[in-house]
Structure 1
Amino acid sequence: MPTPHTDPVMTAPVKVSICLPTYQRPDLIGQSLDSCLAQTHTNIEVLIGDDSTDDRTRSLIEARYAADPRVRYVKNTPSLGQARNVESLFARATGDRILLIHDDDFLVGNAVERMLSAWPAHPDVQVAFGDQYVTDSRGTVLPAASEHLNRAYHRTRDVAGLQKQPGRTGLVQMFPNNGWMADADLVKRIGYREQNGVACDYVFGTEICLAAKGVYYLNEYVSYNRQTEVSITTSTRASTSASTLVAYNFLRALELPPQLEPARRLALRRMVPIVVSIYARNHAPLESLKLALSHLSAYNYGFSRRLYFHLLIMAKSLLTARTSAL
């Protein structure tokens, strides 16, 4: 068995920049950062962008990681916000590949090594990703939820490997919000844009897959997705700034070649019921009804109980509006 000094994983020339944005989670970022530093592929740098309003995360990093040269920490003053924080990390990256992981999530021990394996096997690959475990708030894996998540987002064994339509991967949300890897120059060219709000993950994922020559799906678990109630997406999901509503408007306006129109319809099928509910709950019942009736396929053409639940919400919203006008 080769020694650590001659192991090809240990001496691999490819440098990976792991970007780790954080905000007010000193109790969680330690596990995320530890998972990055424990990777079997050791030619890495870990870039942390701290948007926190206090110094708890800074104190943690200084106490536990100050001696590790791979950790490069920056406290954003003033805070940059989600998209600009991620974009600043991309700008600071010096590696050949970039990997994004959020502060409440963490990586499987050989995630970097396994995703990197796609490049020498397929010359056109510019983006790679794998499956995500779902965990509870304490980081305990939930097997049934993990299987459901990956199946729901089209990550199944029968489609493993190089994707025939790279753009479809982003459109239908097969590409995950984090735990992915991509060529650094491509990541920096696409970037995160502040105007996309909390949907910046989806917009970025769609645009990078549309731009990539090759996208590779590894049918292996590479990251852990922690379920918490403090995420931006969770706290805004019923409002007019909800990520799904922003993503829906982006998707509708997106210019696509004819061969990707089926992927757009599949993506809209997932989004429309959520957008219908958002409209109805935010005093726009007529817009909600119009959208539902124009996308009946999203409700199995009337055979989904979800449609009738949404009709009830619309009726309640309309009644409330009329009562307020009296």
Structure 2
Amino acid sequence: MVNAFEVSICIPTCNRPDLLDLAIRSCLAQTYPHIHVLIGDDSTDDRTQRWMQTHYALERRVHYLRNERSLGQGANVSRLFERAHGDKIVLLHDDDLLEPDGVRTLLELWDRVPDLEVAFGDQYLIDMQGRIDYAASARCNSDFLRTASAEGLQAVPGRTGLVSMFPNNGWLANADIVKQVGYQSQYGAGCDYVFGVELCLKAKKIYYVKRYVSSYRRTPGASSVVNRGSLRSSALEALRLVSSLDLSHHLEPARRIAYKRMVPVAVSTLSRNNEPVTGLRLAMRHLHAYHYGLSRRFYYHMMLIGTSWFRRRRKTPRF
């Protein structure tokens, strides 16, 4: 049954032809044969276009399109989803990789659960040279609640997205549900998380398999790294979404877990960007994120808030 599906692997890219090439190679090396690769190029120069013309012009499984104008990550991914004509969709960022049996591993879950909608597995952490950090990979998957005890159909699908268990890429899903959800470009650096939350809230059947299916590269130029510490950070954007959601009562515990992960990062970011009052209100509203003041992180953040407040006072002109 698995061989009945055509899989569209969508790769958004921007100014990284060397890493994109590695990502494409990992797709073409899949043990599952019925795949095609869609590339949306948001680059500001023509290096990627020239690389694709030189190396992949004759590869029928690779379909390249350079955007006429820069769309930004969210809109670029959305356009890729619109172009996808496969039964299933995989998202892979241009600096990441698929394991050779990644697509087949996830597709085989549809043999177990024919009406499955979404599937995902574990991610390796790799450096710029592609070397796997096995210990850090295990810790990372555990930190995001991808553990052996969680394997299988997810009892509360929406929870999977809210608590950040769902990965930013390397997942596989039915094309129709992916296209319905789309990517929300207004969330900037937080669009990966926002998509995961909305997809999991919409899906009825999501399966997590305790196997490595992709690799996440720790890239200095990644948008999550570039925007970290700014008021456009992924943590603040994700917090904005989570705070706005109208959730059923059985998903409120998941929202609290999300707050516990996001709030301390957001408070620190606000304090470092001269928004101490907003940071203080956020911390006081979500004291559970700091174990109700029993965390050393709480007092460190209070110090940051105080420092930020005095810094603002000193800059305020007096008449």
| TM-score bracket for the superposition, by shorter chain length | over 0.9
Matches within 5 A, 1:241-320: 241-320=232-311
Query: Alpha-carbon deviations, 1:126-150, whole Å to 9, x = none?
Result: 0000000001121100111101110
Residue in 2 that maps onto 1:70: 61
Which ranges of structure 1 fall in alignment gaps of 5 or more residues?
1-7
Q: Shift in Å at residue 120 of structure 1?
A: 1.9
Residue in 2 that maps onto 1:3: none
Query: Alpha-carbon deviations, 1:28-54, whole Å to 9, x = none?
Result: 111110000010011011000011111
Query: Alpha-carbon deviations, 1:48-67, whole Å to 9, x = none?
Result: 00111111111111111111
Match of 1:99 among 90, 97, 101: 90
Q: Shift in Å at residue 309 of structure 1?
A: 1.4
Aligned residues: 317
Q: Shift in Å at residue 245 of structure 1?
A: 0.5
Equivalent position SS for 2:4: coil
Q: Shift in Å at residue 13 of structure 1?
A: 2.1
Residue range with higher mean Cα deviation, 113-122 or 292-301: 292-301
AA at the equivalent of 2:12: P
Query: Alpha-carbon deviations, 1:133-178, whole Å to 9, x = none?
Result: 0011211001111011100110000110111011100110100000
* Counterpart-to-counterpart distance in 1, 2:30 and 2:284: 50
Query: Alpha-carbon deviations, 1:174-213, whole Å to 9, x = none?
Result: 0000000000010000001221212111111011111112
Does structure 1 residue 177 correspond to structure 2 residue 190?
no
Q: Shift in Å at residue 249 of structure 1?
A: 1.1
* Counterpart-to-counterpart distance in 1, 2:187 and 2:279: 22
Cα RMSD for the two superposed structures:
1.1
Residue in 2 that maps onto 1:4: none
Query: Alpha-carbon deviations, 1:72-96, whole Å to 9, x = none?
Result: 0001111111011000100000100
Contact 1:124 1:213 (C-alpha < 8 Å) held by counterparts: no
TM-score, structure 1 normalization: 0.95
Matches within 5 A, 1:66-145: 66-145=57-136
Does structure 1 residue 200 correspond to structure 2 residue 191?
yes
TM-score, structure 2 normalization: 0.97
Matches within 5 A, 1:1-80: 12-80=3-71
Runs of 4+ in structure 1 displaced over 6 angstroms?
A: none
Residue in 1 that maps onto 2:226: 235
AA at the equivalent of 1:241: R
Match of 2:142 among 151, 154, 157: 151
Percent identity over the alignment is: 50
Which ranges of structure 2 fall in alignment gaps of 5 or more residues?
none
Contact 1:203 1:250 (C-alpha < 8 Å) held by counterparts: yes
